[in-house]
Amino acid sequence: MKRKKFLSTLFASALAVSMLAGYGNVTTFASDDATASEAADSTAETTDETADNEADAEQLMKDLTGTYQELWPVILDDQYKQLWIDDCTELVGEENAEGAYEKLASMVSGKIYGEEAVKEYADGNGVYDCEFTQDVDTLEFDGDTSTIKGYDADKKELFSHTYHYVGMEEIRGLYEFESDDTDSGEFTYFCIAPDTNDTTYHVELRYGSDLDALGQYDAGDYAYWLGSGISTDHDQEMVENCIRLFCTENLSEQ
């Protein structure tokens, strides 16, 4: 299972997700047998990749078993500011550390998303809302039953569904899951990064009712939103590791 960098794809690319497709018309000639053979090989590779992704998705759901709260209110708490400054100092120098910290913190502290954010960030200076949406305060994963549940701040259950793997999101390599229940509303689809407590000390995900819209980061109903969570059982070491990882992956020279 390959994980994506801790939000850095969003920063480094500035959401330049459009791609040039095709460069003129190219005509090639091949025998029918060669074409058939290539097609068969391609189909076999696709089948193998799909099976691997499905197995990885199943394992990811098991690895996520546990309960999560929003990440950034935890690790951006004032008590951890010096940790941020120390990590930034190692990477960009003492004179740039404070500025680097402020920039990193601002990029994940947005309060709007969707069409409102698209209009607000039309100049290209967008920041991300990394909160849980739809009044979700905590998310609970049960990998044995492939169940995801959500609770509000009063611990009231907002939803509970079992999910199955349906594909891969192309831009950031998120695993896509669909609810087994009808009328699941804004919890019909979950797109989950291959991040776990043991590997990246946090989780990144998106959920909603429109899978195509969830695959867009600078347009549509979910633009400029990527939910981030940390285990409700986190300890000091997990927080320190999470901060260090975020700084390293976004401030290290590429």
What average pLDDT does the segment 39-47 reach?
Answer: 56
Could you tell me the two tokens for 221?
């109903």
In the 8-state DSSP scheme, what is residue 4? P
pLDDT tens-place string over residues 174-224 = 999 999 999 999 999 999 999 999 999 999 999 999 999 999 999 999 999
Residue 52 and residue 19: Cα distance in Å, rounded? 26
Residue 217 one-letter amino acid: Y
| Res. 163 pLDDT band, cuts 50 70 90 | very high
Question: Of the given ranges (10-19, 42-51, 98-107), which has the lowest mean pLDDT?
Answer: 10-19
Residue 130 has pLDDT above 80, yes or no: yes
Buried b (16+ CB within 10 A) or exposed e, 199-218: ebbbbbbbbbeebebbbbbb
What is the pLDDT, as a whole number, of residue 50? 86
- Strands (E) in the chain, as ranges, are 66-70, 138-142, 147-151, 157-168, 175-179, 189-192, 203-208, 227-231
Residue tagged 């299972």 (tokens): 1
Residue 186 and residue 28: Cα distance in Å, rounded? 46
Residue 26 has pLDDT above 50, yes or no: no
Share of residues in the chain with pLDDT > 90 (%) = 76
Residue 168 has pLDDT above 90, yes or no: yes
Average confidence score pLDDT of the chain: 87
